[in-house]
Amino acid sequence: KRGYLMRKCTIEAGGKKTPLGKRSWKMYFCRLKELLLMLSNDETSKSTPQNTHSLKLHHAFAQVAVDYRKRPHVFRLFLADRSQFLYQSSDSREMNSWIEMINWN
């Protein structure tokens, strides 16, 4: 699965709250492949290590962020390193599809 998502980091690896100034929303072109979620600035850039970073989805979990009401179609991603992210998708269908794919493995 691939597509543009807005993302905001709320909890850093290790479990500490993301500090102010590092909590803003950013747009990424996301590619989900097996247990990797690769994030690039846009879809034209090749997924080379220079312009892409990857999140390991092993023991990760995604669920609708029902407590987050500022934006619609937002889900929360919990990673095994205890970091947490909010991801905003274009509509609820897209959101559910990302959640399903992330939780599939």
Residue ranges in contact with ligand I3P by CB under 6 A:
20-25, 70
Q: Residue with the closest Cβ to ligand I3P? A: 24
Whichever of 22 and 46 has its CB closer to ligand I3P, that residue is: 22
Q: How far is the CB of 89 from ligand I3P (least distance, A)?
A: 15
β-partners of residue 54 are 38
- Provide the 10 A C-beta neighbour count for residue 72: 12
Q: How far is the CB of 7 from ligand I3P (least distance, A)?
A: 11
Q: How far is the CB of 4 from ligand I3P (least distance, A)?
A: 17
Whichever of 46 and 70 has its CB closer to ligand I3P, that residue is: 70
Find the angle CA(15)-CA(82)-CA(85) to the nearest 5 degrees. 95
Residues near 12 by Cβ (< 8 Å), separated by ≥ 6? 18, 83
Whichever of 49 and 66 has its CB closer to ligand I3P, that residue is: 66
Give the three-class secondary structure for 56. Answer: strand
